[in-house]
Amino acid sequence: MSQTLIRAGWVLTAAPDDSATPAAIRDGAVLLDGDRIAAVGTFADLAAAHPAATVRGGANDIVTPGFVNTHGHFSEGLITGIGSQYTLWEWLQELISRVNPVMTRDKAYAGTMLQGIQMLRSGVTTANDMFCSDPIPGEPATPGVVQALEELGLRGVVSFGSGDVDRGFGPAPILEEFDALRETADASRYSTFRVGMSSIGRYTDAAWDEHIGYAVDGGHGIHVHVHEVREEVTAARQRTGRTVVGHAEATGMFRVPVIAAHSVWVDRDDRERYAANGVGVAHNPVANGILASGIAPVAELRALGIPVGIGVDGPASNDSQDFLQAMKSAALLARIRDLQATAMSAREAFEMGTIGGAQALRMEHEIGSLEPGKRADLVVFDGESPTLANVHDPYQAVVFVAGSHEVKDVWVDGELSLADGEVTRVDVREAVARARPLARQLVAEAGLERLSALTGAPLDDTERP
């Protein structure tokens, strides 16, 4: 395969301190050879050493690793921008509990396609997803997620999160969905499987233990919500006598790699348990703000060596799937929480969005930084745009200045999934046209007309512009 040399005014590698690759390279370049990074260095050196390589990028561009979205829900892909007046538990009851029973593979595919396009346009190359719906025996929905990711050229860590409390089914249909998703992911190029576990309150003790057993016996990681809101901590203590983190440790969850989404209300003991067990955390600053859940103690977690990544969360809890918004918000919330401009730097937020997310998923040997031998996942920011005309500090330029309009190219596995700001493998208009009738159907089936104008029904007074 031919080699490609990606040129930039700045290459921000996100390489760790003990790497032979510098963290930032002025007038740099990245050499791609097939699906791997072959070399990283100055453009002059690499161009001289590889004169036959095809050159892309420009002298003023910024090149970064692909961003790692550590938490999301493609199951919400057709209900963006609805129900934002609710806090989490109200939102789950009034919106999500109505959508879950009417989810299908077609809706999963269409929603993933819409939101995956937005992720690619904001530089995401890996999406860690938990699809939440009721399982339909014999008609698994989640293979639709993998199908859409394959067509988009977007790397996925896919899971299914559904509990059996107060539902008309037991653990068996959930395990069937696990099997269907795992088999589909195993046969794909871009997706890998994890066991999804929504939150402790949605599981009977038997199902909780059975899902952990499925992960342990199969050698799968687990993707779980933990302490998103304070009420969850209280409910867990009343039920188990422990926090969710303590209960997870006691019931053997931490025998496999775990990424814990949110972790807003974790106390000192919880944080120390995370550190002792190698648990990764997905910080979701925008969604936590929209649902009024709180601000995660990111500085305290990172001080203990806990890997923390950034997530956009779901399209119905964040609404936007723009990773750059989430990364910027992570830095801003840390500063607001501590009332200190030094609480989180642009570089720290950038590292959370790249190598930190990869470490939280235990994928840092493959993705998350631009180092020789790793997957060729990278982003090119357009240095000829007015927004990036003057780059005084490249980290601040990416985290605080750039938006999705500045994302020019996105490479996944050495191939362009986004070129000149447009996805390369799917027809965007077709994806939009396919999604619209399915969204109207979902709203009607879920009984959400009072929250949505899609069906032509009048909005509630609280929802009127």
Secondary structure of 87-132 in HEC code, one letter for each residue: CHHHHHHHHHHHHHHHCCHHHHHHHHHHHHHHHHHCCEEEEEEEEC
Q: Please check the confidence at residue 220 and state whether its pLDDT lies above 90.
A: yes
Nearest CA-CA partner of 325 in 312, 313, 335, 337: 312
**d(C-alpha 382, C-alpha 168), whole Å:** 52
In the chain, where the domains are located: 3-65+376-423, 67-360
Q: β-strand 62-65 against 3-12: which pairing, if any? A: parallel
Tokens 């309009």 locate to: 405
Q: Please check the confidence at residue 2 and state whether its pLDDT lies above 90.
A: no
Residue 461 confidence class, pLDDT cut points 50, 70, 90: very low
Calculate mean pLDDT across residues 247-275. Answer: 98
CATH no. of 67-360: 3.20.20.140
* DSSP state for residue 459 in the 8-state scheme: P
Report for 14-23, 181-190, 203-212, 285-294: range of highest mean pLDDT: 181-190
Poorest-confidence range of 48-57, 197-206, 264-273, 420-429?
Answer: 197-206
Residue 180 confidence class, pLDDT cut points 50, 70, 90: very high
pLDDT at site 459: 40
Q: 198 with 162: CB under 8 angstroms? A: yes
**d(C-alpha 316, C-alpha 319), whole Å:** 5
Buried b (16+ CB within 10 A) or exposed e, 14-38: bbeeebebebebeebbbbbbebebb
The crossing angle, in degrees rounded to 10, of helices 205-218 and 171-186 is 20
445: enclosing H helix or E strand: helix 428-446
* DSSP state for residue 409 in the 8-state scheme: E
* DSSP state for residue 239 in the 8-state scheme: H
pLDDT at site 425: 97
Poorest-confidence range of 81-95, 214-228, 255-269, 337-351?
Answer: 81-95
End-to-end Cα, the chain, rounded Å: 55
**d(C-alpha 377, C-alpha 374), whole Å:** 8
Please give the torsion angle defined by the CA atoms of residues 52, 57, 60 and 62, in that order, rounded to the nearest 10 degrees. -120
Length of the chain: 465
- Which residues lie closer than 8 Å to 18 by C-beta, 6 or more apart? none
pLDDT at site 455: 54
Compute the mean pLDDT over every residue in the chain, rounded to the nearest whole number.
94
**d(C-alpha 210, C-alpha 218), whole Å:** 12
CATH number for 3-65+376-423: choose from 3.40.190.10, 1.10.3720.10, 2.30.40.10, 3.60.110.10. 2.30.40.10
**d(C-alpha 99, C-alpha 76), whole Å:** 8
Q: 117 with 426: CB under 8 angstroms? A: yes
Calculate mean pLDDT across residues 270-279. Answer: 98
Backbone angles phi, psi at 244, to 5 degrees: -60, -40
Please spell the DSSP secondary structure of 243-261, one letter per residue.
-HHHHHHHTTGGGS-EEEE
Torsion-angle region of residue 429: left (phi > 0), alpha (psi -120 to 50) or beta?
Answer: alpha
pLDDT at site 453: 64
Pick 84 or 331 by higher pLDDT.
331
Burial category of 48 from C-beta neighbours within 10 Å (exposed 0-12, middle 13-18, buried 19 and up): exposed
Calculate mean pLDDT across residues 193-216. Answer: 95
Q: 310 with 283: CB under 8 angstroms? A: yes
Please spell the DSSP secondary structure of 282-342, one letter per residue.
EE-HHHHHHTT-----HHHHHHTT--EEE----TTTT----HHHHHHHHHHHHHHHHT-TT
pLDDT at site 11: 98
Poorest-confidence range of 340-344, 381-385, 444-448?
Answer: 444-448
Q: 61 with 8: CB under 8 angstroms? A: yes
Q: Please check the confidence at residue 454 and state whether its pLDDT lies above 70.
A: no
pLDDT at site 77: 95
Q: 37 with 370: CB under 8 angstroms? A: yes
Torsion-angle region of residue 199: left (phi > 0), alpha (psi -120 to 50) or beta?
Answer: beta
Pick 24 or 88 by higher pLDDT.
24
Q: Please check the confidence at residue 337 and state whether its pLDDT lies above 90.
A: yes
% the chain with pLDDT above 90: 86
Tokens 């699906």 locate to: 35
What are the residue ranges of helices labelled H in 188-267?
A: 205-218, 230-240, 244-250
**d(C-alpha 279, C-alpha 257), whole Å:** 7
Burial category of 430 from C-beta neighbours within 10 Å (exposed 0-12, middle 13-18, buried 19 and up): exposed
pLDDT at site 132: 94
Q: Please check the confidence at residue 154 and state whether its pLDDT lies above 60.
A: yes
Per-residue tokens: 225: 């919500």
